[in-house]
Amino acid sequence: MNISDNPDSEVGQPYDQLFATFNNTSIGMLYQLLPNLLSEEHQALLDEMLGNAKVEVINLLEHAQYTHALNQKIDQWRNQARGTKTTRVIVRIINQTTHTFNITQTTLPLSKAERESFQIPCEQQTAFKSEFNYNYAYPWPKNKIMFNQFVDFFDDTIGVRFDLGLIMNTSFGLLSPTLRPSVKNTVKSIGSSPIKCSTKTTRMGEDAPFHFEVEITLG
């Protein structure tokens, strides 16, 4: 059926023409020709559509720049001088929710200002780094807890607890003992409203002091 056969064509036709023009003309050219092609009402509609598109592009651009800067910061942490007396842990948090999380309590070695200023932005990524003393040596005790920490992230009734730790063991060969680190890396929903969350170890050093990296996903 043609538009002219439709009793509602007086309402639908201008919008059909507008979107047909979108399909066949570039946005830039369409905007230049718009005053000669369409009415004031349609220009207002197009302005609104273009405005929404610009906001999306700007948000995506800002997100890309933010993620790039975050990756650069993580690379900087990775390339810092590696001492033998501390284990460096880098935690990346990917927040796929519309919630912005804050630290409510933690045993991590963060100052009060760091705790209060740290946020996990909605639908963004962030990261933090911690360093812990590494003093595992002869006589190689079994199941030695090198560190065992937690941090709670909350937004109103939505919350998660992240547990982070390192346990050291050894196995003995013919010449020397083999050091065997075991990472404690768990996250669980603890708020009154449940949230999907997961975590994984993404990097693990092969030698002492066993620097490693963790990735948390919320949502």
| Res 54: pLDDT | 67
d(CA 5, CA 150): 69
Strand spans (E) along 22-118: 86-95, 101-106
Domain boundaries, the chain: 3-63, 83-218
Farthest-apart Cα atoms in the chain, separation: 92
pLDDT at 96: 97
Q: pTM for the full model?
A: 0.74
Rounded to 10 degrees, the C-alpha dihedral 103/104/105/109 comes to: 30
For position 23, what pLDDT does the model report?
53
Domain 83-218 is found in CATH 2.60.270.50: yes
Going by C-beta distance under 8 Å and a sequence separation of 6 or more, which residues neighbour residue 55?
A: none
Q: What are phi and psi of 78, to 5 degrees?
A: -60, -35
Mean pLDDT, 10 residues at a time, over the chain (219 residues)?
Answer: 43 51 50 53 60 71 85 94 91 97 94 90 94 93 95 97 97 82 97 97 96 97
46: Cβ contacts below 8 Å, ≥ 6 apart: 18, 30, 31, 34, 38
